C-alpha cells in the first residue's frame, strides 16, 4: 500500500502523527493526566474506526462513565436503540431504552424491565444475551445487550441467500426457539427484524427483542405486556386471546423461511424446503410440528 505514496508523503504522515500523539499526551511540556490522555486517544481511535471527518469539539457522550455512545441505530415511538463501545474493554454493546415521550410511561417501563428479566434468564448462543439493566441519570430504565450485528431484514435487503444459508438460518432459529421454549417462554414476535446476524455468519444468528415474550400457557390479557406481533409473521391464533403456545413461534419461523426462499438465488420449483415452510406456517396449529426439535428434524430428512 505504501508504494503508492512517495517517501516524502510517508515522512509527512509519520511526522504529523507524531505531532498529534504529542498533543494528545502532553499539554506543552507537561504530561496530561493518564485519564485525560486515554480519553483523547479513545476518541481519536473511535473517529478513525468510524472514518469520521473530524474528532468533533463536543464532549464525548459516555453512559455510566464506561460506554462511549457511537450512534442511534433504531428508534420508534417507544424505544431507542444505541450502539456503544466499552472504553476499557473495547467491546461493542447495544443499549435499549425509552424514547423521551415514554420516559414516564408506566406500561413502557414495565415492558422494558420485563424484557430485561426474560433476557437475563435465558442463555444460548442463538439468543441475544442481555447483559444488565440499569437506570439512566434521568431515571429511565435501560438494558445493555451484546452487539449482534445487522438484522435479517437488513441483510436480505443487501444480498440474496443460498439454500445452505436458509438451512443454517432455520437451524439456528429453531435451536434458539427450542432453548426459549424449554425455559417456558413463547417469544411472541419472531420476525426478520428481530433476528440478528453477527458478521454475516448465520450460525451465529441471535433471536432478539424479548419485549413480547410470555410464559407458555399464559394470556396477554393477564399480563402487563402488550401483544405486539409483526404483521406478516404473526400466527393467526394470536388474534384471539388463546393461551400462549410455543407453536405460534413455529408459524412465524415458517414465515421467516418463506421470506428467505423469496430471496434465494438458487430457488427452483418445487423447492424441497418449500414444503417445510408450508408445514411450519400452517394456519392450523395442530398441523404444525409438535415443537422446535420436531421442526429441526424435518430439515435433517430433506
Ligand atoms: N443487540 C443488538 N445488536 C445489534 N442490533 C440491535 C440489537 N438490538 C436491537 N438492534 C437493532 O435495533 C432494532 C430494534 O430492536 P428491537 O429490540 O427489536 O426494538 P423494538 O422493541 O423497538 O422492536 C433491531 O431490528 C436491530 O436492527
Ligand atoms: Mg423488534
Q: Which residues surround ligand 2, an ion (CB under 5 A)?
A: 194, 209
Last residue of a domain, one of 146, 177, 196: 146
pLDDT at residue 58, as a whole number: 57
Count CB-CB contacts under 10 A for residue 101: 10
How far lies 209's CA from each of 79, 144, 159, 170, in Å?
11, 12, 24, 18
Of 146, 174, 202, which closes a domain? 146
Q: Which residues of the chain have pLDDT under 50?
A: none
Q: Pairing state of beta strands 30-31 and 26-27? A: antiparallel
Domain count, the chain: 3
Note whether 133 and 271 are same-domain residues. Answer: no
Residue 94 belongs to domain spanning: 67-146
CA 299, CA 276: separation in Å to the nearest integer?
Answer: 8
| pLDDT tens track for 262-281 | 999 886 666 779 999 999 99
Pocket lined around ligand 1, Cβ cut-off 6 Å: 73-74, 76, 79, 81, 94, 96, 128, 145-149, 151, 193-194, 196, 208-209, 211
Last residue of a domain, one of 146, 178, 203: 146
Ligand 2 mean position, distance from CA 226 (Å): 13
Is residue 62 included in any domain, yes or no? no
What is the reported pTM? 0.83
Here the CATH number for the domain that contains residue 292 is 1.10.510.10
User: Residue 111 maps to which CATH number?
Assistant: 3.30.200.20
How many other C-beta atoms lie within 10 A of the C-beta of residue 294?
13
Q: Judge if 157 and 196 occupy the same domain.
A: yes
Amino acid at each position: 500500500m505504501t508504494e503508492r505514496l512517495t517517501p516524502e508523503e510517508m515522512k509527512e504522515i509519520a511526522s504529523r502523527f507524531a505531532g498529534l500523539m504529542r498533543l494528545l499526551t502532553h499539554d506543552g511540556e507537561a504530561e496530561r493526566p493518564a485519564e485525560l490522555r486515554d480519553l483523547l486517544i479513545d476518541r481519536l481511535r473511535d473517529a478513525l474506526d468510524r472514518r469520521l471527518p473530524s474528532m468533533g469539539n463536543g464532549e464525548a457522550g459516555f453512559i455510566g462513565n464506561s460506554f462511549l455512545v457511537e450512534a442511534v441505530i433504531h428508534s420508534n415511538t417507544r424505544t431507542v436503540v444505541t450502539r456503544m463501545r466499552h472504553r476499557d474493554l473495547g467491546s461493542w454493546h447495544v443499549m435499549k431504552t425509552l424514547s423521551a415521550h415514554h420516559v414516564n410511561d408506566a406500561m413502557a417501563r414495565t415492558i422494558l424491565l420485563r424484557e430485561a428479566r426474560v433476557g437475563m434468564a435465558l442463555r444460548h448462543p442463538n439468543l441475544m444475551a442481555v447483559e444488565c439493566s440499569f437506570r439512566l441519570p434521568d431515571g429511565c430504565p435501560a438494558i445493555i445487550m451484546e452487539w449482534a450485528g445487522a438484522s435479517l431484514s437488513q441483510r436480505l435487503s443487501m444480498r440474496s441467500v443460498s439454500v445452505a444459508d436458509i438451512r443454517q438460518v432455520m437451524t439456528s432459529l429453531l435451536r434458539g426457539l427450542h432453548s426459549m421454549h424449554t425455559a417456558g417462554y413463547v417469544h411472541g414476535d419472531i420476525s426478520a427484524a428481530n433476528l440478528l446476524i453477527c458478521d454475516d455468519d448465520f450460525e451465529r444468528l441471535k433471536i432478539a427483542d424479548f419485549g413480547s415474550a410470555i410464559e407458555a400457557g399464559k394470556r396477554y390479557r393477564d399480563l402487563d405486556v402488550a401483544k405486539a406481533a409483526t404483521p406478516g409473521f404473526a400466527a393467526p391464533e394470536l388474534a384471539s386471546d388463546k393461551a400462549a403456545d410455543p407453536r405460534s413461534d413455529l408459524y412465524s419461523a415458517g414465515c421467516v423461511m418463506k421470506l428467505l426462499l423469496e430471496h434465494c438465488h438458487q430457488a427452483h420449483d418445487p423447492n424441497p424446503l418449500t414444503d417445510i415452510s408450508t408445514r411450519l406456517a400452517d394456519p392450523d396449529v395442530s398441523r404444525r410440528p409438535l415443537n422446535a426439535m420436531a421442526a429441526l428434524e424435518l430439515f435433517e430428512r430433506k
